[in-house]
Structure 1
């Protein structure tokens, strides 16, 4: 993977595109449109490389797909060619590594679901911190049709949705639309297909105004509570500790309080909900 120096340049690699679009915002595009962005070994490798290049260079990353699909999951033809001993459909550990890279990345990751999101594509939505979808996107888990439980998409959806809705997706194999995904809480917002990229980038720019250290620690807290901490008192104590960690690493808190005292607005202060908020 080669990356040109000017931050405005588009970085072209065979299976992943990486762009640094503006101050603190990057976009990663899965680039196998003819395969509905199915994730081969090489595609997974290049996605992790692109995410690594964003460390320290981007506060917010928009993750999307080229062509009519967001991500059709793990490359099934590659899985089939590997044979039963290497069958990855029931728990692809390299795919887990991708999810953990996203989840533990210091930047906020926004999934811009432009089309089909199947199996592992659903896992990507769940691993992202925020998600916007085309209203016409088709989202689902086809694994039941292969005689399998969706090893990563299933549990990640069960952690994100209520039990009956997660069961519907796991047991029926039926796809839901971007609109339904919003109603169910699988994505934050469904928009007209033509507006998706603009909406995702506008959201990214808005979030990127905030202090990088604060964003990273807020992301950590959002994954920790209630994923790991469910006790009320322990959660409040953890929240206080997060504040301490932020204040020890950045001057943003003191700067923000000073600005407020002087009558100057901080990023997001007094802002409305935006076009769709």
Structure 2
């Protein structure tokens, strides 16, 4: 395994990207002294890392270096232009979430520690998430007299109303097991098991066809985010199936293996 900087010198310490075997990549937030708070360099680093994964990664693991996953947007540092207007636009915090949501790879958040405000937004925008039992997840914004502009809506779209309201209105933090119980993450494990659990999950997902994963991700965001009526949702499912047939031979090949009595990925 080799780590390479996701960008030139201004961001090489802020974000790292590793390309592992089997179509899995890992993006690591690398500002441990700042609890991986997202300054301009880190946000640009994420965008560049995602670009580096495009076309080569089926699954991306997002995680943090040190005791924090992400403490949110860095409020202590002013924005510094990267010198590239388009890159600056793509690295605004709301735009970073869209970059993750619209990326063809499945994104797994491996929540290694504190995830506050924008850090919890990253958990919600990820397609799957595993948290360390010791993780602390919350939204401190109400203590500043603010509504959490991104983290609030993200939680309200993903969680039951009273649970989202608890996070928004109390500023309380929840740990990994509670996050799993609430459905904020899929699974909670001891911190020492987090890397293995996230990598195992990434490898399992990456064993499937890249086109099927990309379009399944699209469907998961489309329904019920944009389509909530039953008949329309089923019709969209047929559209996705038609797209897969036209874009990939995986279905034909998979059916051929099944009919021949062979096992496909994911079959017991």
Q: Which runs of 5+ in 2 are unaligned?
A: 6-11, 81-90
**2:45 is matched with which residue?**
46
Q: Distance in 2 between matches of 1:9 and 1:115?
A: 23
**1:65 paired to 2:64:** yes
**2:264 is matched with which residue?**
266
The TM-score with structure 1 as length reference comes to 0.89
**1:29 is matched with which residue?**
28
How far has the Cα of 1:9 moved from its partner? 2.4
Question: Could you report, residue by residue, the CA deviation over 1:54-82 in whole angstroms, capped at 9, with x for unpaired residues?
Answer: 00110000000000000000001025x99
**1:165 is matched with which residue?**
163
**Secondary structure in 1 matching 2:60:** strand
Q: Which runs of 5+ in 1 are unaligned?
A: 1-7, 83-92, 271-277
- Among candidates 237, 261, 265, match of residue 235 of structure 2: 237
**Secondary structure in 1 matching 2:57:** coil
**1:88 is matched with which residue?**
none
Q: Distance in 2 between matches of 1:223 and 1:158?
A: 15
Q: Distance in 2 between matches of 1:196 and 1:151?
A: 29
- Say which is worse superposed, 36-45 or 8-17, in terms of deviation: 8-17
- Among candidates 185, 188, 194, match of residue 187 of structure 1: 185
**2:74 is matched with which residue?**
75
Question: Could you report, residue by residue, the CA deviation over 1:222-271 in whole angstroms, capped at 9, with x for unpaired residues?
Answer: 0000000000000000001100001100000000000001111000012x
Q: Which 4+ runs in 1 deviate beyond 6 A?
A: none
> Any residues of structure 2 matched to 1:51-200 within 5 Å, and which?
51-78=50-77, 94-200=92-198
Q: Distance in 1 between matches of 2:13 and 2:32?
A: 11
How far has the Cα of 1:21 moved from its partner? 1.1
How far has the Cα of 1:14 moved from its partner? 1.4
**Secondary structure in 1 matching 2:256:** helix
**Secondary structure in 1 matching 2:77:** helix
> Any residues of structure 2 matched to 1:200-215 within 5 Å, and which?
200-215=198-213
**1:223 is matched with which residue?**
221
How far has the Cα of 1:119 moved from its partner? 0.2
Q: Distance in 2 between matches of 1:137 and 1:10?
A: 25
The TM-score with structure 2 as length reference comes to 0.92
How far has the Cα of 1:10 moved from its partner? 1.3
Q: Distance in 2 between matches of 1:107 and 1:26?
A: 10
Q: Distance in 2 between matches of 1:214 and 1:198?
A: 25
Q: Distance in 2 between matches of 1:23 and 1:139?
A: 31
